[in-house]
Amino acid sequence: PVSGILVDVPCSATGTGSRRPDVLRRDANLGNLLDTQNVLATHCADNILAMYGIMVYATCSLLALESEDQVRKLLARGTVQGEAVMKTVPFEPGEIPGFDNAIDENGWLRVLPGVLEGDLSSCDGFFVARLQKVG
């Protein structure tokens, strides 16, 4: 088991649409993507992450289905086959300079294209949640 893992799941890439408009016109098989995201996140949490380890779940998608909803599913699983539950480790204001306004009520980062200020104003859209495996 590892103490930390980044789970940057395959996604629809809708957060890159301002820079790559072709992604908004392509037919992504969202059902397959959602299944893959869930399988990857669950496998990492249950089989790769050590107890009290940190998992960062990330997408470059603007769709809650691929981001917030997937994390909610992971958190709602509770104890499964003796495996520990996951909890959110919220991002705090000041922790990541320039992203304070992107921290939502759950402590997750939700960035929309063009919303950040200064050098970050051309940033693509994305989502990041930090979770911990607890006993």
Annotated binding site for S-adenosyl-L-methionine: 8
- Mode of pairing for the β-strands spanning 109-111 and 2-8: unpaired
Neighbours of 88 (CB within 10 A): 14
Catalytic residue flag (residue 60): yes
Q: What share of the chain is helix, strand, coil (3-state, %, to 5)?
A: 35, 25, 40
Active-site residue identified among 11, 44, 60, 123: 60
Q: Which residues are annotated as a binding site?
A: 8
Q: How far apart are CA 5 and CA 56, in angstroms?
A: 6
Helix (H) or strand (E) holding 31: helix 30-43
Measured between alpha carbons, how far is 46 from 53 in angstroms, rounded to an integer?
11
Please identify every residue annotated as catalytic: 60
